Structure 1
Amino acid sequence: MSRSAPRSDLATHVVENQPPIRAPSLWADDLPLRGAVAAAGGQADTLAAFAHTLSDPAMIEAGRAANRYPPELRLFDPGGRRLDEVTFHPAYHQLMTAGAKAGYSAVAWEPQSGGHVTHAAMVYLLSQIEPGVCCPLTMTYAAIPVLADSALASDWLPKLIARGYDPSIAPVAQKRAATLGMAMTEKQGGSDVRANTTWAEPDGDAWRLTGHKWFCSAPMSDGFLTLAQAEAGLSCFLVPRWLDTGRNRIQIQRLKDKLGNRANASAEIEYHGALAHMLGDPGQGVRTIIRMVHHTRLDTAMAPAGLMRAALAEAAHWCRHRTVFQKKLIDQPLMRAVIADLALDVEGTLALGLRVAQAFDDANDGFARIAVALAKFLGNKRAPGMIYEAMEALGGMGYVEDTPLPLLYREAPLNSIWEGSGNVICLDILRTLARDPEAAQALSDALDAATGADTRYEAALADFRAAWPGLPPEAEARFFAERAATLLTAATLVTAAPEVAGPYIAARLSGDRGLVAGAVRTHDTAPILARILPD
């Protein structure tokens, strides 16, 4: 159906000095993405096609609709019989279909090279349109290595990597494709999953779980990786949602009323003797499920890059088209300084995230273990402030739901909180460096590899090593992690995006700056802005 053009000549005024509706091209407009994908060895053609799909106005509107009409819990049918189902707006299913078809969950496990880089870039792209649907797709991707060497592999893996989406309510054997969720957190423990009280009792070759889970991500998934106490200790289990005989004994208590991530359902659930299958060795639940957590951590490092990119693109669009004091906003020196400074966080988070994904592809396990934690920590700490500054660049409209900035701002804290918040990540960084000589050496080598490119970087690296010749005390873990991650980001940009490496080092490592965005010494912003403002 064609639509008439909106009217600008109104009874009281003429609409002017307003930017046109932005029609993004998520691949063509994003020079940093194309460069970072090339540097990391991703599948450019696959990503260009996915970006083209997501750039369609209908898909952008689907993202807004999925966020505007959140999932609803249906506990009972009209006769009072339990359903324990969650219903979604059609836009949610539209987005899930697009992501699954493109290979969001599957491409990393297919034979083509650069699969993890390609997957990570898909996280970045989809996060710009509707980040809520990333959750079930990410957990499906991340669960595959846990299931790959289990007795369940033949039944589950073909459905998890099927490049399809099947929301029907049926046992996995009857479905074209499947998704997996996660249920670890309990009230009394939080990040301390060893405090879990859900218990498991053997039932032939299977197990029966009883207990309460405070957070279950994506409760309409086809199965959940979960932790429960068995006789041998905390163990990992796969709990199917549906059995051949009907519903498994999983009851949804309520959906969480979250700040953001509205398109995705998060629930509080109970297991009432739910049938489950043990994964890994008895008593080794944390060691087993940490393989899933390791891969979800990659996605929580990439998602903030996508959120920040969406905010930056919107702010830059407004600044190009708004005139204030007889000049375009983007031509005013102070605004240029702010936008360019914000762009450095996007460039750095993107480049480091894809470098980490490349380490996953290359089986560079030592570097991947430490770098993914550093990337997650820094990117997520930069995202909320950066998105707020982009919101401010729009002025009052940035605070209005007609623009994407409120959605992005609500989403900004999620990926830091999910799967271990800032303190947990920092302690994990210290633990990895203390216990894993391969990871510690890989980080040191990566930092040394960038020497010779910029004397300011070398000075910052020397100061870092002088401050902490060994591991820092626990109370300094955040300072240490922030500095190590910033140095690693700068080292990555030296190779992946040398055009912005110098400004990044000056603004993030030299110390010659203030505490807020744009509080930097005068430098040439043109090369940075040229990368984010295509003609």
Structure 2
Amino acid sequence: MVTTSVDERHRSAGEQDGGHVGYATHDVTNQPGPLAPYDASDDIALLEGLRREGAGWAEEDLRRLGRLAGSAQAQEWSDQANRHEPELRTHDRYGHRIDEVGFHPSWHHLMRTAVAEGLAAAPWADDRPGAHVARTAKGLVWGHTDAGHGCPTSMTYAAVPALRRQPELAEVYEPLLTSREYEPGLRAPAGKRGLLAGMGMTEKQGGSDVRTNTTAATPTAEPGVYTLRGHKWFTSAPMCDVFLVLAQAPGGLSCFLVPRVLPDGTRNAFRIQRLKDKLGNRSNASCEPEFDGTVAWLVGPEGQGVKTIIEMVNCTRLDCVMMSAALMRKTLVEAGHHVRHRSAFGARLVDQPLMRNVLADLALESEAATALALRLAGAADRAVRGDAGEAAFRRIATAVGKYWVTKRGPAFTAEALECLGGNGYVEESGMPRHYREAPLLSVWEGSGNVNALDVLRALGRDTATAQALFDELGLTRGADARLDAAVVRLKDHLAEGSQVSARRLVERMALTLQGSLLVRHAPPAVADAFCATRLGGDWGHAFGTLPATAGFDAIVDRALPDAV
């Protein structure tokens, strides 16, 4: 009697090729291979916007970074940084309080690259016109990796203009914040080659209503130096070197610089109570710190804390738009790759009319978000250089863009995930991570209501803001009847000035602004489909409801070149 093992029976039923055994019931067919390696900068709308907004000189660097972002290595870093989450160590083995956060090596690879590429505060030390646009464009491609490490780089970028309110502090810290050297670990700031900045604004009882903060700042005998006592509810990136913190001084709510390590090398009192267990953004640490005798330096005058940090908010809101647009683009590329290599019902998914409608609709949304992000970056760049008109436009358009683009992110990523079917719902695809990340960007730096009300305040305080917006929209007058009609409706709505309809007003502002950008700069197929749907009303309530007359092929082919 001859016996045959289970393995031998399988080998006899299958095929053996080069040592790999194939099983008849488990042959893998009709499954797309990995997207990586790919070029994350292979995005026509992105490259056109880069040149249009004055940073064409950065294109070679952008393309290089795009290839790195889409490499198998960088994609693996992203996956590992999220699977191996930060760990809090409150004490060392001897019982000393250390309040340190440990990260997987992949996090440090991502951070080192981001800082070296100028995604932190480097543009503030770059005199070239378009430096801030180049940073935003790089963020749009490096955002194809991990979103979490964009938090400390964004806060570091935003800290510089606030810190400049106190020139003697800026003189010490700005060269280190604008450095392209990433040097993790808590040490005296002056002894490091580069620094990262965080911020601690909100508290349990108030959230965005920072005027209700109870953290107290007590002056010391040394001018400009205070001690803090209180708590913060949501402080991201506690491993950073310095923090901008709001606290109540004798003269009212004020802004302070809080270093983790004091100039003499001793640890400042920064007691991390716990790390937040968040929906997404898992690679990044967010915490609840307590201050008790914490040494801090005043930034700006007492009582002007909100005014001091407003420039910081403009910067981080721009980054919310940028990161939402990057998530849209990343998930669109993933969806496009899948449907190009997957067949159903006798044809590739990409060739099926309804799927092509979905892809085209997603592509419109992605291009509109990218165009707006780069326009906002261009306004920021020119405002820094003294352009008052661009500063007024930036003031209102950044809040408008932050509201709308970040609101569209969760719906967009959900639709892109659905293009992969069940494969997209599996963690290994990466799509669930992107889906969990998307809502953060509409919450961070003010939820939808906060931003909508901020738009109303900007309109009420300075007529130049509304004028700047309508000057921008006026550049396309007569080019598209639907856009012209939308601008008229917007002016009528603006006259109401009602808080209850603020969201509707801001949505209309965003859509007319995006429509104007696409009519001016995108091909006719893209502009026409956007205006027909977002402004003309020929659209359903879900993605994939473009009218049959839309130029699906032109839209999809522009968004997803063959190289992607």
TM-score per shorter chain, which class?
over 0.9
Q: How far 1:125 moved relative to its partner?
A: 1.8
Contact 2:86 2:283 (8 Å CA) reproduced: yes
Contact 1:51 1:125 in 2 (8 A): yes
Q: Given residue 151 of structure 2, which amino acid in structure 1 is its aligned partner?
A: C
Matches within 5 A, 1:50-69: 50-69=65-84
* 2:392 pairs with one of 366, 372, 391: 366
Letter in 1 for 2:59: A
* Equivalent pair of 2:248/2:254 in contact (CA under 8 Å): yes
Query: Residue 405 of structure 1 aligns with which residue?
Result: 431
Task: Indicate which of 191, 194, 210 corresponds to 1:193.
Answer: 210
- Matched residue, 1:276: 296
**Which of the residues 459, 468, 491 maps onto 2:485?**
459
Quick check: which has more Rg, 1 or 2?
A: 2
Within-5 A mapping of 1:57-206: 57-109=72-124, 110-150=126-166, 151-203=168-220, 204-205=222-223, 206=225
After superposing the two structures, state which structure 1 stretch, 17-26 or 440-449, moved more: 17-26
Once residues 386 and 32 of structure 1 are traced to their aligned partners in structure 2, the CA distance between those partners, rounded to angstroms, is 18
What corresponds to 1:526 in structure 2? 553
State the TM-score, normalized to the length of structure 1: 0.97
Any conservation in 2 of the 1:303–1:415 contact (CA below 8 Å)? yes
Whether 1:415 and 2:441 are equivalent positions in the alignment is yes
TM-aligned CA distance change 1:112 to 1:315, over 3 Å: same
Return the offset for 1:107. Answer: 3.8
Name the structure 1 match of 2:3.
none
Say whether 1:493 aligns with 2:510: no
Shift of residue 6, structure 1, vs aligned partner: 11
Q: Which residues of 2 match residues 368-517 of structure 1 at below 5 A?
A: 368-466=394-492, 468-499=493-524, 500-517=526-543
Give the fraction of aligned pairs with identical amino acids, expressed as a percent: 48
Higher mean Cα deviation, 254-263 or 516-525? Answer: 516-525
Q: Quick check: 1:320 aligned with 2:320?
A: no
Task: Structure 1: state its 5+ residue gaps.
Answer: none
Which of 286, 296, 309 is the equivalent residue of 1:266? 286
**Residue correspondences, number:** 531
**CA shift for structure 1 position 402:** 1.2
Provide Cα deviations, 1:86-128, integer angstroms capped at 9, x if missing partner: 0000000000000000111234211122111111112222222
Q: Which residue of 1 aligns with 2:245?
A: 226
Deviation digits for residues 451-495 of structure 1 (CA, Å, limit 9, x no counterpart)? 2211121122223323x1514310100001001110001111122
8 Å CA contact 2:327–2:409 kept in 1: the answer is yes
CA contact (8 A) 2:187 2:265 kept: no
Query: Which is further off, 71-80 or 223-232?
Result: 71-80
- From the superposition, tell whether residues 526 and 476 of structure 1 become closer, same or farther in structure 2 (CA, over 3 Å): same
In structure 1, what is the Cα distance between the partners aligned to 2:21 and 2:323? 37
Q: Secondary structure at the match of 1:475?
A: coil
- Aligned match of 2:328 in 308, 321, 324? 308
Question: How far apart, in 2, do the equivalents of 1:24 and 1:389 lie?
Answer: 23
Distance verdict in 2 for CA 1:28–1:299, change over 3 Å: closer
Shift of 1:7: 5.7
1:28 Cα offset (Å): 4.9
Counterpart contact for 1:434–1:471, Cα < 8 Å: no
Change (3 A) 1:5 1:492: farther
Deviation, 1:8, is 8.4
Q: Deviations over 1:122-150 (max 9, x none)?
A: 22222221000000000000111112342
What residue is the counterpart of 2:227 in the other structure? Answer: 208
Q: Using the alignment, how far apart are the partners of 1:453 and 1:474 within structure 2?
A: 32
CA offset at residue 45 of structure 1? 2.1
C-alpha separation between the residues in 2 aligned to 1:6 and 1:347?
A: 47
Mapped to 2, the partners of 1:28 and 1:216 lie a distance apart of 32
Paired residues of 1:234 and 1:282 also in contact (CA < 8 A): yes
Give the partner amino acid of 1:242: V
2:506 and 2:20 map into 1 onto residues whose CA distance is: 53
Q: Provide the TM-score with structure 2 as the length reference.
A: 0.92
Asked if 1 retains the 8 angstrom alpha-carbon contact of 2:196 and 2:242, the reply is yes
Secondary structure at the counterpart of residue 219 of structure 1: coil
Aligned 8 A contact 1:486 1:509 in 2: yes
How far does residue 154 in structure 1 lie from its aligned partner after superposition? Answer: 2.0
2:260 matches 1:247: no
Given that residues 122 and 179 in structure 2 are in contact (C-alpha distance below 8 angstroms), is that contact kept between their aligned partners in structure 1?
Answer: no
What amino acid does structure 1 have at the position aligned with 2:491?
A: R
Q: Distance in 1 between matches of 2:61 and 2:483?
A: 35
Distance 2:251 2:165 in 1: 21
C-alpha distance in structure 2 between counterparts of 1:534 and 1:484, whole Å: 31
